[in-house]
Structure 1
Amino acid sequence: MTTPTAAPTPRGWRRLPVVHQLRQSVGLQRVMLIVGLVLTGLLLLSALLAPWLAPYGYGQIRSADTGPFGAQQPPSAEHWLGTTVGGFDVLSRVIWGSRTAVLVIVIAIAASLIIGVLLGLVSGYFGGWLDRVLVVIADAVYAFPSLLLAIVLAIVISGGQSSMIGGVLAAALSITVVFTPQYLRVVRAETIRIKSEAFVESARVIGASNGRIMFKHVLRNSTRTLPLIITLNASEAVLTLAGLGFLGFGIEPTKAAEWGYDLNRAISDVTSGIWWTSVFPGVAIVLTVLGITLVGESLNDLADPRLRTRRASADVTGDVAATSVVPGGALTAPGGVEGLEPRTEDGR
């Protein structure tokens, strides 16, 4: 008689966040997640490899071999996506613009995440008048649109004509102010729930300090839903940056590439039949927002335990149907099990 062997445990790389979610997904949900990951991966690769992928610099208007590029040149072998009204290469501007978008996302999300989590943790754990004040401030911040706040900060920081650092900081700071209340409310609600759990009470009884309880026990269990919010807020950050540039408060073209600014400069081209100066920056914005949104929505759906139930049911083989009790049939698995008698229709 052979001893059954235990099932092998999954490898460590299968438990990685993205890989684990991808293995959980099924059907259309998996397609959406894969498409989102591909589009987001292309954005990150373009941002990291921009100096090698872009044929020209973001502010370059002439080449040593061919001389000036020329304004509003159609797509050709020298300029695959044509040139803008300012004589910039469209392909290079689109690729370099991905780096600006990623910088805004990273700075805005990191700042709002740190501030929002800390404030939410303190507010939910201690409560009292501090909790009420922070909640009122968080509600008041929602009255300020992120784009309007970005315009004000752009004017304050650099007079409306921003360098790369000024434009990125203006957009990132405005997004930070708007996104911070979201993280504060989520962490606060989870902290209020977790601080009444038995393991927190036990830590308090044995003499653990408030700081140790907050950061060792409460914080780790109150931030599980934050990755879902981060992915959804990242797409809004891109739209805010694009809106800022489209309204003329963005980054100067000689300082950095920005998709919203290029769309603003291409408005007059559309009426003249020059389509390439507006289509490609617009497509870059749409694909970036679409990719990040698909990842966020997919992760949000996969957090639903009902989806995991459906996945578990789908993984069951057809042998289970043979074990069902059928009137007049035998309660046996395929191959038969000794000691079980067939049931009659009255169940005896």
Structure 2
Amino acid sequence: MSTVSRAPKRSLASRLPVVHQLQQSVGLQRGMLIAGLVVSGVFVLTAIFAPLIAPFGFAQRRDDAGIFGAQQPPSAEHLFGTTVGGYDVLSRVLWGAQTALFVIVVSVILSIFAGVLLGLVSGYFGGWLDRVLVVVCDAIYAFPSLLLAIVMSIVISGGQSSLVGGVFAAAISITVVFIPQYFRVIRAETVRIKAEAYVESAKVIGASSNRIMFRHVLRNATRTLPLIVTLNSSEAILTLAGLGFLGFGIEPTAAAEWGYDLNRALSDVTSGIWWTALYPGLAIVLVVLGITLVGESLNDLADPRLRGRRAVAQSAGVVAETSVVPGGSLTAGPGGLGGLEDGESFDEHGIETR
């Protein structure tokens, strides 16, 4: 009685998207993914526990010992020194991670919700609505993203610099920039998927348009969203920093923001005061680099040609170790494989023996 071998079931942890991609990666690609995950994880943990890690508040200028003082060099009391406004640089950097994470979450969630919904409706129904949405989104997509974010920030914030108002103004202005990207991806996938046989079968049995869109089309059209989310997260940090650097971001009394701190440190650099600009700049570079490494690694692993490299390497190793002659694996002497096929053999000095 023959038995059919079954593939082993994957564990629950291996079914998670990032864990599964990590198991598929190999070599330099795995190193890049691990480095990106470590940097991104440190960023998220720092943002969550910033109130516990930061030695001072983001707008605090004095403690029990007195006023901090402006542009103080790094010392035991202030490890990263103080800014021109008298704030602790280390505390501003740590609290800035919380602001950046909040803006990323709000902007990505809002842009996904709006972009996916518009792309799904536009791609599925088509017609005049599709043409109008495509023209509008293409016009927004062609507009310079930072300039569009500046305009939307001015319109939304209205000069308000409160924590909620400033953060939401920055997040919503970034959302407007991201919506066309999700719209274009989801619309293209919807147009392709609605021509599949299972969608036509659902129409034949009388399924409603809403059920087909959200039950069959949506779940298959959003497989590339994790890749776009990671890349957009790094772009959101750069856009937020650009808004703050140009003076359209969040005031220091409302929240800590790396771009604003860089703007205030411009005059310090020419005076030899390096610590006020170095640490916010390093925070931006490291976080963007970490998120970008994760996004690029996931993008490479999503390619079937790159995804199968590990399997190909393993198969090559198995073939190389396969024994094709009794007593061991096939090896060629000085005469090559042709010499073996002719029955020739050679001693250790390469002399032919019969």
TM (norm. structure 1) is: 0.90
Query: Aligned-pair RMSD on alpha carbons?
Result: 2.4
Residue of structure 2 in register with 1:105 after alignment: 104
Residue of structure 1 in register with 2:14 after alignment: 14
Give the deviation of 1:119 after TM superposition: 0.7
| Structure 2 CA distance for partners of 1:132 and 1:72, relative to 1, 3 Å | same
Residue of structure 1 in register with 2:283 after alignment: 284
Give the deviation of 1:149 after TM superposition: 2.4
- Superposed CA offset, 1:93-125 (max 9, x none): 000000110111111111110111111111111
Whether 2:322 is the aligned partner of 1:311: answer no
Q: State the distance in 1 between where 2:201 and 2:148 align.
A: 45
Residue of structure 2 in register with 1:153 after alignment: 152
Q: State the distance in 1 between where 2:327 and 2:51 align.
A: 64
Q: Which moved more, 1:224-233 or 1:308-317?
A: 308-317
- Superposed CA offset, 1:207-255 (max 9, x none): 1101000000000001101111111111111111111111112111111
Whether 2:198 is the aligned partner of 1:199: answer yes
CA contact under 8 A between 1:270 and 1:278: conserved in structure 2? Answer: yes
Q: Which runs of 5+ in 2 are unaligned?
A: 330-339, 343-354
Q: State the distance in 1 between where 2:12 and 2:214 align.
A: 26
CA contact under 8 A between 2:80 and 2:275: conserved in structure 1? Answer: yes
SS in 1 for 2:142: coil
Q: State the distance in 2 between where 1:155 and 1:239 align.
A: 18
Q: State the distance in 1 between where 2:21 and 2:63 align.
A: 47
SS in 2 for 1:152: helix
Give the deviation of 1:136 after TM superposition: 0.6
Give the deviation of 1:151 after TM superposition: 2.2
Letter in 1 for 2:202: A
CA contact under 8 A between 1:146 and 1:174: conserved in structure 2? Answer: no
CA contact under 8 A between 1:259 and 1:285: conserved in structure 2? Answer: yes
Residue of structure 2 in register with 1:27 after alignment: 27
Q: State the distance in 2 between where 1:333 and 1:272 align.
A: 77
Residue of structure 1 in register with 2:71 after alignment: 72
- Superposed CA offset, 1:189-215 (max 9, x none): 111111111111111111110100000
Give the deviation of 1:177 after TM superposition: 1.2
Whether 2:118 is the aligned partner of 1:119: answer yes
Q: State the distance in 1 between where 2:185 and 2:104 align.
A: 20
Q: State the distance in 1 between where 2:219 and 2:158 align.
A: 42
Residue of structure 2 in register with 1:221 after alignment: 220
Give the deviation of 1:173 after TM superposition: 1.6
Letter in 2 for 1:14: S
| Structure 2 CA distance for partners of 1:6 and 1:137, relative to 1, 3 Å | closer
Q: State the distance in 2 between where 1:152 and 1:313 align.
A: 51
| Structure 2 CA distance for partners of 1:319 and 1:78, relative to 1, 3 Å | same
Q: Which runs of 5+ in 1 are unaligned?
A: 336-343
| Structure 2 CA distance for partners of 1:317 and 1:157, relative to 1, 3 Å | closer
Q: Which moved more, 1:49-58 or 1:8-17?
A: 8-17
CA contact under 8 A between 1:72 and 1:83: conserved in structure 2? Answer: yes
Give the deviation of 1:161 after TM superposition: 5.4
Aligned-pair identity in percent equals 73
Residue of structure 1 in register with 2:56 after alignment: 56
| Structure 2 CA distance for partners of 1:218 and 1:76, relative to 1, 3 Å | same
Number of aligned residues: 332
Q: State the distance in 2 between where 1:156 and 1:128 align.
A: 32
Give the deviation of 1:62 after TM superposition: 0.4
Q: State the distance in 2 between where 1:284 and 1:248 align.
A: 19
Q: State the distance in 2 between where 1:321 and 1:279 align.
A: 52
| Structure 2 CA distance for partners of 1:318 and 1:266, relative to 1, 3 Å | closer
TM (norm. structure 2) is: 0.88
